[in-house]
């Protein structure tokens, strides 16, 4: 009776070539990260210039959130959250309000 015919050699070659290209793209995509060297295994590496820039931004603003810091300094949101948390622990800034989603910080009046 009928049934499915065997695929031609050229069709099989095309399919194998497509699969190989897809695997190469997938492997190349995993190598690059969008944040670069900012975050390496949950350890934050920040240059001194960035720290100075962050301190200037905090002193200029009345209130600061992780989102505003991330936009002004050019770091990812998770890095900005981590920086603000560390500065709060050091006493440079203080936490004014915390929600389950975000926190609002203000510069200490002492600084």
* Helix, coil or strand: residue 44: strand
Cβ-defined contacts of 65-69 (< 8 Å, 24+): 65/102, 65/103, 65/104, 65/105, 66/102, 66/103, 67/102
d(CA 7, CA 14): 11
The pLDDT score that the predictor gives to residue 26 is: 83
pLDDT tier, 110 (very low <50, low <70, confident <90, very high otherwise): low
Domains parsed from the chain with CATH numbers: 39-107 (1.10.10.10)
Q: What is the per-residue pLDDT across 61-100, written as a single tens digit (0 to 9) for each?
A: 889 999 999 998 888 898 889 889 988 998 889 999 999 8
**Structure confidence at residue 36 (pLDDT):** 52
- pLDDT tens digits, one per residue of 21-52: 998 888 776 655 555 554 444 566 778 888 88
Q: pTM of the entire structure?
A: 0.57
Phi and psi, residue 54, nearest 5°: -65, -45
* Position with higher pLDDT, 72 vs 109: 72
Per-residue model confidence (pLDDT) at position 30: 63
Express each pLDDT in 1-20 by its tens digit: 678 888 899 999 999 999 99
Q: Three-state secondary structure along 92-107?
A: CEEEEEECCCCEEEEE
């Amino acid at each position: 009776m009928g049934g499915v015919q065997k695929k031609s050699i050229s069709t099989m070659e095309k399919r194998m070539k497509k699969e190989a290209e897809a695997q190469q793209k997938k492997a190349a995509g995993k190598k690059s990260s969008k944040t670069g060297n900012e975050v390496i295994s949950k350890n934050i590496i920040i240059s001194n210039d960035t720290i100075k820039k962050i301190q200037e931004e905090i002193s200029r603003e009345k209130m600061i959130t992780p989102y505003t810091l991330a936009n002004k300094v050019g770091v990812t949101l998770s890095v900005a959250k981590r920086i603000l948390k560390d500065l709060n622990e050091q006493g440079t800034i203080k936490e004014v309000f915390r929600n389950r989603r975000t926190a609002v910080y203000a510069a200490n009046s002492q600084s």
